[in-house]
Chain A
Amino acid sequence: MPIKIRALKPQEKTALLMVLPAFFYIFVFTVYSYSQAFYLAFVKYKLVEPQTIGKFIGLTNFIDVIEATYFKDTIYETFIFTLMCTIVIVTLGIGVSILLNEKFKGVGFVRFIILIPWAIPPTAAGLVWRLMLYRSGWINRFGMMLGIIKEPIGFLGAGRIYQLVYALIAQMWQQLPFVSILLMAAHQLIPKDLLDAARVDGASWIKRLRHVTFPYIRNVIALVAIWEAIVAFTSYDILYTFSGGVWGIITYYAFAEGFSWMNLGHAAALSVIIAIFILIMISIILLIIPPKRIYEYSFVE
């Protein structure tokens, strides 16, 4: 039903005015740009072929990118990277959050210091880890100084799958603080008397974790896991600098198609494919934790 502006109460008009900037922002940066990408995905748009720009070609761009030599490998690597990141970061995040939730001397300082990597831009994080993994880098030098290795290891000259693992370390270093702090916050929502009661009843640490802590934080774990999966799946900057601009996951090829090979049609088709995967992930979140439950959860006393 259309809203009649004149019939609105003054407070409602004010409210409408207040949401206008947000509406404008969403329209320009989301609705318009997504529509433009969607349009580009169905037309020929290769900058170096100006004569054919804008010609409708149906699903050709999608077929081209799916048949591209890189597609199969990159999809495989993207899922491997996403899966590894999610499992490792969330598992370690749970461990760190438990540690941070404990009371020990200097816990405030540790909570502060642990956040630092999160404040470092992913581009810089990727580059820092790349430099550390050089044959002449800090890790090799330290290893040789301690006598752990005799010869420098060529981390960056190793196969792609190994390098993906090294890139995971950089991603983990950057993402772990955020996950840990989120999970630590969830820990603090657990009623203290419930934990005390379990302790009085003689429940061991493991049993308390399994039967009290985990049921309380599992929604947050699911949320964080899906979030991290999305972050890993769309990871571009950290991998780009880590690989020296040479390889990456599917997002890298969306960039390469658009800005190295100047085929905006292919780039848009890949972006639409990425968006479909992301939508699937978001749907999974909403299936696990329906919006109503997220809302209720936010107000847990």
Chain B
Amino acid sequence: MGEKVSRRDYLKVLGGTVGGLVVGAAIGYLAAPGKVVEKTVERTVTQTVTAVPTVTPTTPAKKVHLDFTVWNYDVEKIKDNVSKFMQKYPHIEVSLYDFNWPDFPTTMVKRFTVGTPTDVTYNGEDWLAQWASAGWVVPLEDLWDQYEVEHPWSFYINDMVPYAKMACTFEGKVYGLPYYSDIFTFIYNERMLKEKGFNPPKDWDEVREQCLEFKKAGIKYPYLLSFEPKDVFAWCNVLSSAYGRGARLFDEDLNPVFDEPDSPFVEQLQWYVDGIHVDKIVDPEWSTMHETIASKKMSAGEAVFCGLCKYNTAAMNTPGSGPEAGNLRVGLMPGKTHEAYGFAKMYNITKMCVNRGREAIQAAITFIEYFGGSRGPVLKRWAVENGLGFGFDSPWEDSDIRNAMEKLYGPGSAEVIRQQAKLAICEPHPVWFGEWNDYVRKECLAKVFTKEITPKECVKLMAEKWNALRKG
């Protein structure tokens, strides 16, 4: 070991190694056999799986290619679904591109702006207006019945629950079929309530009374408010609880009504402010309470109530997640109307796809029917395996889906969820909604909860911003 290596020798060895690696890599690349089509874009794992060559009489000689963009929720399952689709329809070849969920809307806007090929895409009710008014996506209802499909458009549209239909609609036209629909629900600990002899609370006064009782019994903060101002779900939680009181944001002409003097929206904001600062029943960590933290706290029995998107209840009830796993239930949203906020993420066809002509549109419609149709295998798989919500009513008649929901959400949950889904609402999201919502979360609601402004001042600011954005 004592032998010294000169700098020249060292560089010779290093140069030789690097050179060897480069030559080796080049030879390896050139000698590699033909591969399955594979595309990688940005941070995206993309694949096209070779189709199993089954012969069908309608298969055209040339494959139709589709570019499909999604966000990165359970990408492996999406890939598997794509693979199965291509086995069933060997004349359609699909390339999948997945993007990070928080960056998805901006990534897609850039993609559309520069014209990166995209045929079918996930979309959300909060971006639909922007994408539709920009002409990037087209109404599915205008195309559907002109093409070969398993079920006509009316079959799906009549089966869609109202909130999901509303979420997929822009300027009176339905743009897509839901990939996933869910509701922001009221969640409670059934065991704790039974121990105290309480029924699930019917209104927010009752929630307060029960919270005060639990506080006396030693639970420091019985209610969890998940309001990380950066997260759009924070807004959904607050809105959903106000909907329970019968609140509305706008009238039919999109004029704000949340700022009216006796607005249920203001009442609900006041409930939270009092809960945080007066009764001290709401966890003061609301600003850092991501839904995963709230779920853990609920499973651990640190709180009794919370408002979160429904799917979190399944996570809370997963065995091993905490001592209260299996005891958490979805209840109807407290309040006069028990309404809640429902949303839908959907499959859209892009204008780029339409510009490619009939073959591409037919392939995209076949794809969407397979993935988003209420009788399609993908909807059922998401519901049974992941407990994801769906935007149709008929899947509730499927015993596999019902059983899976009962298992994931607890005995008796299927009926409550179905009932809540029927009561859920989704108000229109105009083009400027995203900007308004961003402002509302960060500059209005966050300041109400810190008591920098009052709920009435808050809704005044919200209305001012709304009207300013409307004027353009």
The CA-CA distance from A244 to B287 in the complex, in Å, is: 9
Q: Please state if B439 and A156 are interface contacts (CB–CB under 8 Å).
A: no
Stretch at the interface among B29-37, B310-318, B443-451: B443-451
A47-B109, A48-B130, A259-B106 given; A157·B464 CB < 8 A: no
Q: In the complex, what residue of chain A is closest to B129 when comparing beta carbons?
A: A48
Q: Please state if A247 and B442 are interface contacts (CB–CB under 8 Å).
A: yes
Chain B residues, CB < 8 A from A158 = 450
A158-B450, A160-B452, A246-B442 given; A135·B464 CB < 8 A: no
The CA-CA distance from A262 to B443 in the complex, in Å, is: 19
Q: In the complex, what residue of chain A is closest to B446 when comparing beta carbons?
A: A246
The CA-CA distance from A157 to B280 in the complex, in Å, is: 14
Q: Please state if B288 and A244 are interface contacts (CB–CB under 8 Å).
A: yes
Chain A residues, CB < 8 A from B451 = 159
Q: Please state if A157 and B228 are interface contacts (CB–CB under 8 Å).
A: no
Question: Does A118 have its Cβ within 8 Å of any Cβ on chain B?
Answer: no
Chain A residues, CB < 8 A from B25 = none
Q: Please state if A159 and B438 are interface contacts (CB–CB under 8 Å).
A: no
Scoring A residues 113 to 144 as 1 if CB is less than 8 Å from chain B, else 0, what string do you get?
00000000000000000000011100000000
Q: In the complex, what residue of chain A is closest to B431 when comparing beta carbons?
A: A48
The CA-CA distance from A158 to B109 in the complex, in Å, is: 35
The CA-CA distance from A136 to B134 in the complex, in Å, is: 45
Question: Does B354 have its Cβ within 8 Å of any Cβ on chain A?
Answer: no
Question: Does A102 have its Cβ within 8 Å of any Cβ on chain B?
Answer: no
Chain B residues, CB < 8 A from A256 = 438
The CA-CA distance from A256 to B135 in the complex, in Å, is: 24
Q: In the complex, what residue of chain B is closest to A135 when comparing beta carbons?
A: B285
A246-B446, A259-B106 given; A156·B288 CB < 8 A: yes
A258 vs chain B, min Cβ distance (A): 10
Chain A residues, CB < 8 A from B461 = 69
Q: Which chain B residues (402-451) contact chain A, with CB distance < 8 Å?
A: 431, 434-435, 438-439, 442-443, 446-447, 449-451
Question: Does B63 have its Cβ within 8 Å of any Cβ on chain A?
Answer: no
Q: Which chain A residues (144-160) contact chain B, with CB distance < 8 Å?
A: 154, 156-160
Q: Which chain A residues (26-51) contact chain B, with CB distance < 8 Å?
A: 47-51
Q: In the complex, what residue of chain B is closest to A136 when comparing beta carbons?
A: B285
The CA-CA distance from A69 to B286 in the complex, in Å, is: 25
The CA-CA distance from A245 to B446 in the complex, in Å, is: 13
Q: Please state if A154 and B465 are interface contacts (CB–CB under 8 Å).
A: no
The CA-CA distance from A225 to B287 in the complex, in Å, is: 34
Chain A residues, CB < 8 A from B131 = 48
Tell me what chain B mostly uses at the interface: helix, strand, loop, or mixed: helix
Chain B residues, CB < 8 A from A48 = 109, 130-131, 133-134, 431
Question: Does A70 have its Cβ within 8 Å of any Cβ on chain B?
Answer: yes
A48-B130, A49-B134, A246-B229 given; A157·B109 CB < 8 A: no
The CA-CA distance from A48 to B468 in the complex, in Å, is: 18
Q: Which chain B residues (262-289) contact chain A, with CB distance < 8 Å?
A: 284-288
Question: Does A11 have its Cβ within 8 Å of any Cβ on chain B?
Answer: no
Q: Please state if A156 and B287 are interface contacts (CB–CB under 8 Å).
A: yes
Question: Does B113 have its Cβ within 8 Å of any Cβ on chain A?
Answer: yes
Chain B residues, CB < 8 A from A50 = 112-113, 134-135
Task: Count residues on chain A whose CB falls below 8 Å from chain B CBs.
Answer: 27
Indicate which residue in B130, B288, B452, B468 contacts A69 across the interface (CB closer than 8 Å): B468
B358 vs chain A, min Cβ distance (A): 25
Chain B residues, CB < 8 A from A135 = 284-285, 288
Chain B residues, CB < 8 A from A67 = 468
B8 vs chain A, min Cβ distance (A): 30
Indicate which residue in B228, B229, B284, B431 contacts A154 across the interface (CB closer than 8 Å): B284
Question: Does A261 have its Cβ within 8 Å of any Cβ on chain B?
Answer: yes
Q: Total A-B pairs in contact (CB under 8 Å)? A: 74
Question: Does A204 have its Cβ within 8 Å of any Cβ on chain B?
Answer: no
Q: Please state if B284 and A244 are interface contacts (CB–CB under 8 Å).
A: no
Q: Please state if A246 and B230 are interface contacts (CB–CB under 8 Å).
A: yes
Q: Please state if A70 and B439 are interface contacts (CB–CB under 8 Å).
A: yes
B130 vs chain A, min Cβ distance (A): 4
Q: In the complex, what residue of chain A is closest to B286 when comparing beta carbons?
A: A157
Indicate which residue in B130, B229, B286, B443 contacts A70 across the interface (CB closer than 8 Å): B443
Chain A residues, CB < 8 A from B113 = 47, 50
The CA-CA distance from A47 to B115 in the complex, in Å, is: 12
Chain B residues, CB < 8 A from A298 = none
Q: Please state if B450 and A134 are interface contacts (CB–CB under 8 Å).
A: no
Q: In the complex, what residue of chain A is closest to B438 when comparing beta carbons?
A: A260
A138 vs chain B, min Cβ distance (A): 15
Chain A residues, CB < 8 A from B446 = 246
Scoring A residues 227 to 256 as 1 if CB is less than 8 Å from chain B, else 0, what string do you get?
000000000000000001111000000001
Indicate which residue in A70, A154, A159, A245 contacts B452 across the interface (CB closer than 8 Å): A159
Q: Which chain A residues (249-286) contact chain B, with CB distance < 8 Å?
A: 256, 259-262
The CA-CA distance from A261 to B447 in the complex, in Å, is: 21
Chain A residues, CB < 8 A from B288 = 134-135, 156, 244
Chain A residues, CB < 8 A from B109 = 47-48, 262
A266 vs chain B, min Cβ distance (A): 10
Chain B residues, CB < 8 A from A157 = 284-287, 449-450
Most B CB contacts (10 A, CB to CB) among A51, A158, A246, A259 go to A246
Chain A residues, CB < 8 A from B285 = 134-136, 154, 157
A50-B113, A244-B230, A246-B442 given; A69·B464 CB < 8 A: yes
Chain A residues, CB < 8 A from B464 = 69
Q: In the complex, what residue of chain B is closest to A260 when comparing beta carbons?
A: B438
Q: Please state if A160 and B447 are interface contacts (CB–CB under 8 Å).
A: yes
Q: Please state if B230 and A245 are interface contacts (CB–CB under 8 Å).
A: yes
The CA-CA distance from A246 to B284 in the complex, in Å, is: 18
B140 vs chain A, min Cβ distance (A): 20
Chain A residues, CB < 8 A from B452 = 159-160
Indicate which residue in A47, A69, A134, A246 contacts B465 across the interface (CB closer than 8 Å): A69
The CA-CA distance from A247 to B133 in the complex, in Å, is: 29
Q: Please state if A244 and B106 are interface contacts (CB–CB under 8 Å).
A: no
Chain A residues, CB < 8 A from B286 = 157
**Extra pairs beyond A51-B135, A154-B284, A157-B287 (16, CB < 8 Å):** A48-B109, A48-B131, A48-B134, A48-B431, A49-B133, A50-B112, A51-B134, A70-B443, A134-B288, A135-B284, A159-B447, A160-B452, A244-B288, A246-B230, A247-B443, A261-B435
Interchain Cβ contacts under 8 Å between A and B, 12 examples: A48-B134, A48-B431, A49-B133, A51-B134, A134-B285, A134-B288, A135-B288, A157-B284, A158-B450, A246-B446, A260-B438, A262-B109
Give me the interface of B with A, judged by CB distance under 8 Å.
106, 109-110, 112-113, 130-131, 133-135, 228-230, 284-288, 431, 434-435, 438-439, 442-443, 446-447, 449-452, 461, 464-465, 468
Give me the interface of A with B, judged by CB distance under 8 Å.
47-51, 67-70, 134-136, 154, 156-160, 244-247, 256, 259-262
